[in-house]
């Protein structure tokens, strides 16, 4: 689809980085620019714009005025600092075109539609600037309060509420329709489809994720004269903890995924022994018992090892996202659509987090994957072929048609 390719290219220019990627953090100037363009696209296609209090954006196609029900599709326009052009944006832009296509199909088939349709851009899905991730969709689902979401702060102490107000997207027009289904189209961000030459995946659920932010408290001292035995080096304790995580994952030998992907150090001076360090850890596995076993052993170990070198620890955040299932009827519908279109369909759980997982808490949600070449994601070189993008779009459009017209 030329139009889809052109939209993706146009949005990729916003926040473009020198290495061909995209850096479009939530509630920044580049996010505003992308939101402004999306808002223009909504208006140009005759959709009704809505922006709620957390900045979630909707373009509504009123195709059955007698119904208060709406089927929503979408994803997110924010990115990681090292993002690519497809992660998130593909689902928003394919959703925009699919809503328009299904609306026209309904107009050509009077009486077929039973409910309305909308495309969404969810706020701060990535969690790169503000934590937790999935912020906008969690507020929409009611699992995170608006005030708690507003209070999230970035590394400079700016709150999400203030940042949204600064870019003009702390909205006052919530979606007035009753959501009955949600469908999200996304690049896989892994290589399972590629490994089996699959066209699309109907995602059945998600692995459990535990995200733990640990603060290591030592003491400041000169890196030169302070005797080694007397140093209370917070960064040393953090380094030992990072290695401990990998050791515990290997010890479990269950295929868990784990990382320590962010660290902050104070005072971060080359001549001062670090008095404080904070590390963001995470452990993922489809079996919750595996995650609990690894993380509990890990926490016990790092507390003991930090104490041995005079460093204390505290837990700044401990977020547990349970292994979850997506709507079974939605999975079967996506599988049926793919088969009818002659596509090779796979079904598996996602390792990564997506807005569909947050929305599932209040509305039956579906998640559709298309292949990611080499499984690469959160990287400027992420790539999905146009043929794969088009196949995913075809599945999305037909799935939305069936959801909008279903007599249920």
User: Residues marked as binding?
Assistant: 76, 87, 126, 186, 378
Instruction: Fill in the DSSP letter of residue 314.
Output: E
Element (H, E) at 164: helix 160-167
| Residues making up the binding site for Zn(2+) | 76, 87, 126, 186, 378
Show the tokens assigned to 359: 């929305």
Q: What is the DSSP string of 243-311?
A: HHHHHHHHHHTS--EEEEEEEEEES--TTEE-SEEEEEEEEEESSHHHHHHHHHHHHHHHHHHHHHTT-
CA distance 54 to 37: 18
CA distance 223 to 311: 17
Partners of 369 in the β-ladder:
186, 201
Q: How far is CA 323 from the centre of its chain?
A: 16
Tally Cβ neighbours within 10 Å of residue 309.
Answer: 16
CA distance 184 to 91: 6
Rounded to the nearest 10 degrees, the angle between the axes of helix 386-405 and helix 89-108 is 50
Asked whether the beta carbons of 240 and 302 are under 8 A apart, the reply is yes
Which three-class secondary structure string do you get for 318-363?
EEEECCEECCHHHHHHHHHHHHHCCCCEEEEEECCCCHHHHHCCCC
From the list 204, 239, 175, 242, the residue with the least C-alpha distance to 330 is 204
3-state helix, strand, coil in the chain (%, to 5): 40, 25, 35
């Amino acid at each position: 689809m030329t139009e889809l390719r052109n939209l993706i290219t146009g949005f990729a220019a916003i926040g473009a980085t020198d290495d061909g990627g995209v850096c479009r953090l939530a509630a920044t100037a580049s996010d505003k620019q992308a939101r402004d363009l999306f808002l223009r696209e909504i208006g140009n296609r005759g959709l009704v714009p809505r922006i709620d209090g957390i900045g979630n954006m909707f373009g509504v196609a009123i195709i059955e005025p007698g119904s208060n029900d709406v089927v929503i599709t979408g994803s997110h326009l924010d990115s990681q600092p090292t993002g690519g052009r497809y992660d998130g944006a593909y689902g928003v832009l394919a959703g925009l075109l699919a809503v328009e296509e299904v609306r026209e199909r309904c107009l050509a088939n009077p009486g077929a539609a039973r409910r309305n349709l909308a495309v969404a851009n969810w706020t701060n899905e990535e969690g790169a600037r503000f934590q937790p991730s999935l912020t906008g969709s969690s507020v929409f689902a009611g699992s995170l309060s608006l005030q708690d979401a507003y209070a999230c702060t970035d590394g400079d102490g700016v709150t999400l509420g203030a940042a949204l107000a600064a870019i003009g997207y702390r909205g006052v027009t919530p979606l007035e329709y009753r959501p009955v289904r949600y469908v999200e189209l996304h690049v896989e961000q892994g290589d399972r489809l590629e490994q089996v030459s699959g066209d699309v995946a109907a995602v059945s659920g998600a692995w459990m994720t535990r995200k733990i932010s640990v603060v290591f408290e030592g003491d400041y001292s000169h890196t030169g004269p302070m005797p080694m035995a007397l140093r209370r080096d917070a960064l040393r304790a953090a380094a030992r903890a990072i290695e401990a995580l990998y050791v515990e994952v290997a010890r479990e030998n269950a295929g868990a995924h784990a990382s320590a992907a962010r660290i902050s150090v104070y005072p971060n001076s080359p001549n001062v022994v670090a008095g404080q360090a904070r590390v963001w850890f995470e452990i993922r596995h489809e079996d919750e018992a595996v995650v609990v076993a690894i993380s509990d052993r890990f926490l016990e170990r790092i507390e003991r090892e930090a104490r041995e070198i005079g460093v204390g620890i505290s837990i700044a955040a401990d977020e547990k996202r349970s292994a979850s299932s997506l709507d079974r009827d939605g999975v079967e519908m996506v599988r049926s659509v793919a088969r009818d279109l002659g596509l090779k369909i796979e079904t598996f759980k996602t390792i990564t987090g997506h807005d569909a997982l947050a929305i599932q808490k209040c509305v039956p949600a579906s998640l559709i994957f298309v292949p990611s070449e080499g499984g690469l994601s959160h990287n400027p070189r992420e790539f999905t072929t146009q043929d794969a993008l088009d196949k995913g779009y075809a599945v999305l459009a037909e799935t939305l048609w069936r959801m909008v017209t279903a007599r249920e």
